[in-house]
Structure 1
Amino acid sequence: MRSLLFGLSVVTAVSAQQTAWGQCGGLTWKGAITCVNGYVCTFSSEYYSQCIPGTAAPSSSTAPTTIATTSKTSMPTTLATTTSSGGAVPTGSDTGPGTTLQTGYYWIRAVAAPNFHKYLQTKPIYLPGTAILESYTTAGQFAIVDGQLVELLTPTTFLYANVIASTVSGATKLAVEFKTAKNTYGTFAWSGDALQWSVAGLSRPNLSAWLVCEGQSLWVNLGSYGYMTPAGCVDQTVSLSL
């Protein structure tokens, strides 16, 4: 288990850097795979990654060891479930897994300004409610299991990130709420260390694109990253952190 003050570091040796908004990866890509200062290479599809605004975590000589610990095989494949018929969850902010990272779980944080190193959590804390990005001191701990983004409360109690389908034609974003019930709309996945969400029948330019809007609430971005951002929101990518 690791202290909350440590983050994931990735170091890649390359001979050149890609310019802002340029391509930096893909199955047939043979050019630069790192970006100029202030930009991060972000996965869009197996054929295309792009340099978007953001800041990578500081490099570390222990990066190879850290990266090895983030493989999907280290994540829990099953979860114990509460036996309460009412789906009881903790009732106050003094509950939850604490500030020491539990085995098989990860913190999830933003990697671009103005929310750089703001952490995913619920509002109210450790209770069903809105997904937000806020201080590391109240960060939740998460795993992806069978396409569900699961927040750990106790060894037998969990919350699930639910993406709320829009009933509005031409919607540009989708709300994310944590509930005691599992998500039924789409699936969550890791792409490297980036959090993604997708659903059959809905095409998104960038599966790693998110928005942070009023009240620090987290939304699925249905548009292109950094283009025609909805009023009151900022573009964001979020990544796992050890």
Structure 2
Amino acid sequence: MISSVYLSVLGALFFAAGAAAQTAPQYGQCGGIGWTGATVCPSGWTCTVSNSYYSQCLPGAAPSTTIPVTTPAGGSPTSTSAVASGTTTLLPGNSFVRADEDPNFHKYLRSETIGSAGTAVLGDPDTAAQFQILDGQLVQMLPNGSSLYAIVAPQVNSTEVMLGVSWSTSPATSGTFMWSGDSLEWSSPTVSRPQLNAWLVCPDEDDNLDVFINLGPYDYDTPAGCADQTLNAYTGATATP
């Protein structure tokens, strides 16, 4: 007779294999501590590590090793191979978006690779991007006149504590961005959140300050290494430290 212990172990192995064989959605979570969902991304998408708690399916092949940019004395190298290509003078109708609390005081929202689709991060004032909210879309207004749209990763299961945010050349198909005063909020009828303006900022392995939607209460059960933040509009003439 086959023991119940053997059957339990066999069932667990089949469950794990089945989860790994499933395909995560575009921009969806595909790994991290405690993650039991799909770990395979769609064709043409790569499971990209943001931090120990979160990996996300992003478009493109696996990233190659990046070479830090050489900066003048007194500066520090960045983890991307692009340099700021836009102006830090605010254009009419636009807003900067920044954190106003430590440890990311006056770090500004932008793309990890400046002006390109990819992970949403916070960076220094001289690399700040500019934004508008149009029809519920958070739109990054690029200096060349084109746009990038904020995409929030879909929630796959109830165990997720945060959702990745990235930039795409195509508009988001779910969720709504809005201002509440100067505070940036995001909501979706399919995602339950106790606080619509709660964000998490988590350094990745290259020290990029990756931005996430916080699905839990603000400043409670914060994932290790991450910081609770609110993100706020700033309409001064230039992005200031």
Instruction: Establish whether TM, by shorter chain, passes 0.5.
Output: yes
- Displacement, 1:131? 0.6
After superposition, residues 1-242 of structure 1 pair within 5 angstroms as 93=83, 95-96=85-86, 98-154=87-143, 156-214=145-203, 215-242=208-235
1:200/1:92 CA distance change after superposition, 3 Å: same
Distance in 2, matches of 1:109 and 1:129, equals 18
SS of 2:121 mapped into structure 1? strand
Distance in 2, matches of 1:141 and 1:94, equals 13
SS of 2:156 mapped into structure 1? coil
The residue identity in structure 2 corresponding to 1:182 is: P
Distance in 2, matches of 1:169 and 1:203, equals 10
TM-score, normalising length from structure 1?
0.60
The residue identity in structure 1 corresponding to 2:217 is: S
Q: Deviations over 1:99-142 (max 9, x none)?
A: 11000000000011100111001110111111111100100000
Unaligned runs of 5+ in 1: 1-90
Q: Answer with 1 or 2: which has the greater Rg.
A: 2
The residue identity in structure 1 corresponding to 2:122 is: L
1:94/1:237 CA distance change after superposition, 3 Å: closer
Distance in 2, matches of 1:138 and 1:231, equals 27
* 4+ long deviations beyond 3 Å: 91-96
- Displacement, 1:155? 5.6
Identity between Structure 1 and Structure 2 (%) = 47
Contact 1:126 1:153 survives alignment (8 Å):
yes
SS of 2:126 mapped into structure 1? helix
Contact 2:84 2:127 survives alignment (8 Å):
no
* 148-157 or 99-108, larger mean C-alpha shift: 148-157
Aligned residues: 151
Give the aligned partner of residue 36 of structure 1: none
Contact 1:148 1:160 survives alignment (8 Å):
yes
Unaligned runs of 5+ in 2: 1-80, 236-241
SS of 1:185 mapped into structure 2? coil
Contact 2:199 2:214 survives alignment (8 Å):
yes
The residue identity in structure 2 corresponding to 1:221 is: N
Q: Deviations over 1:21-66 (max 9, x none)?
A: xxxxxxxxxxxxxxxxxxxxxxxxxxxxxxxxxxxxxxxxxxxxxx
Distance in 1, matches of 2:224 and 2:146, equals 36
Distance in 1, matches of 2:153 and 2:216, equals 16
Cα-Cα RMSD = 1.6
Distance in 2, matches of 1:99 and 1:176, equals 23
